[in-house]
């Protein structure tokens, strides 16, 4: 399936209990924003939590591994996202062209919070969203063999690839 916007999260540390990672997803068609939130705990028993785990030989790798597991359980049961990992880097790609990623942060839960060494890189889809906005069936010149169909789209469609 095609993917559009992409978020890369690089864990340069192993997150610990009470650490938080969050980012926003914006739907550019409906103009709504939702927060994706996960908090680190010793052992996951609830939604929106990530098991801290035992560090591997690569700094941040266990956080990446356990984050993917929690993210898929909490936010990806419909398959909206294609999620992968290479070492300590998690890549989240969205299959909806209207979704963009923004405002990523990893922090402690202390007051005031300390910012943690986790990097967020965004490659957001900027293509216009194509949709059919209206369809009109009209009488054709030869009504027995043809139909006249007028289709209005949200973006100018200059040709038809297949009938």
Of 134, 130, 53, the closest CA to residue 96 belongs to 130
Answer whether 104's CB lies under 8 Å from 9's CB: yes
Please say if the pLDDT value at position 145 is more than 90. no
Please say if the pLDDT value at position 53 is more than 70. yes
pLDDT tens profile 7-37: 999 999 999 999 999 999 999 988 999 999 9
Give the integer Cα–Cα distance in Å for 33 and 125: 16
Show Cβ contacts of residue 111 under 8 Å, excluding neighbours closer than 6 positions: none
Taking the model in full, what pTM does it have?
0.80
pLDDT for the residue 163: 61
61 phi and psi, to 5 degrees?
-65, -45
- Is pLDDT larger for residue 137 or for residue 41? 41
pLDDT for the residue 114: 96
pLDDT tens profile 64-73: 999 999 999 9
Say which residue the tokens 């405002």 belong to.
103
pLDDT tens profile 86-143: 999 999 999 999 999 999 999 999 999 999 999 999 999 877 666 778 888 888 787 7
């Amino acid at each position: 399936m095609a993917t559009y916007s992409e978020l890369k999260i690089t864990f340069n540390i192993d997150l610990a209990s009470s650490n938080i990672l969050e980012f926003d997803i914006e739907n550019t068609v409906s103009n709504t924003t939702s927060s994706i939130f996960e908090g680190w705990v010793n052992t996951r028993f609830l939604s929106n939590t990530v098991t801290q785990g035992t560090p591997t030989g690569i700094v941040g790798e266990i956080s990446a591994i356990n984050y993917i597991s929690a993210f898929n359980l909490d936010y990806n049961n419909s398959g909206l996202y294609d999620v992968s990992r290479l070492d300590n880097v998690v890549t989240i790609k969205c299959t909806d062209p209207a979704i963009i990623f923004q405002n990523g942060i990893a922090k402690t839960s202390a007051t005031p919070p300390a910012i943690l060494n986790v990097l967020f890189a965004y490659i957001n889809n900027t293509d216009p969203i194509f949709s059919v906005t209206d369809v009109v069936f009209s009488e054709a010149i030869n009504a027995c063999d043809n139909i006249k169909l007028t289709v209005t789209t949200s973006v100018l469609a200059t040709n038809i690839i297949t009938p």
